[in-house]
A and B are shown apart, each in its own frame.
Chain A
Amino acid sequence: MRRIKVTVDGKTHEHEVEPRLLLIHYLREVLGIGGAHSGCDTSNCGACTILMNGESVKSCTVLAVQADGEDIMTVQGLAKNGEWHPVQTAFHEAHGLQCGYCTPGMIMATISLLKEKPNPSEEEIREGLEGNLCRCTGYENIVKAVKQAAGSPVS
């Protein structure tokens, strides 16, 4: 067991964890953050995407001990004083989700993408989200949501 100290959604936690514990399971099982999802176990689908120190990472292929001392943001930490993050609003308004299971990962990946490229082209959006799979939307309205969040004109 190893002791880790992790800040998640602005709150600092300390726990003894097994070195093999995956970060996604630490978030879900130990901290009870149900908004971080697991979808493939092989870092292909991106449902588990969170931000670590502002960078998007797939928490199914990060060990909890690797997050020791780091600052984690999940979808549950985005809203401030009841106000949604603009990316959350855009996904809702553009119907960028259906079943919603990929959505938290998609939103976190979008935040990371827009940080790198504030005004991405459609191609850049599609390439930027290639690590996040959605089986419901055909990506059409996800792309639209990202454009909207970026303040780009939406066709």
Chain B
Amino acid sequence: MSSTVGTAPSRPVDSLEGRRGMRMSDFVVREAVLPSLRAASKEEAIREMVASLRASGHIKASEEESIVKAILKREQLATTGIGRGVAIPHTKHEGVDRLVGTIALSEAGVPFDSLDNQPVHIFVLLISPQDRPMEHLRALDNVATHLRDDLFCRFLRQARTREAIWELLQEVDQTVRR
């Protein structure tokens, strides 16, 4: 016998049925990919990545500072430097009407208050609309799937150009079921 205690959620349940795999190329902006960050601090890294998205035309210049501050505020709640040289800084922001993101690499590594106290070499920055939490979760699912792959991380860190990074993303995108 099985019983359910408590009241049902007032909003529709996010069902596993009908979900689809999201690809890196669905949200990573090719023109905003940074193969070599100049940043030496958490704030500089976030500013550099957001500026790259603004320069690519995917966020408005008028929203840039607000988005940077929102990401920094999120970092104050808990670091997104999850260890193994990886960080996923992100925010939900009204300044975007679709999920956008970028990937940035730092050969020297950036201090990021990571859980393992190690510098970050791989950044995946995400900016999501405020009203689409499942889209945000799908992007995190995609990013987590690839960042758990040591070989992917190794090849990513070896990439020296935007084109080389994009080719690698396209390669892993082919493994996503749609």
**A-B complex is real:** no
A interface residues, Cβ below 8 angstroms from B? none
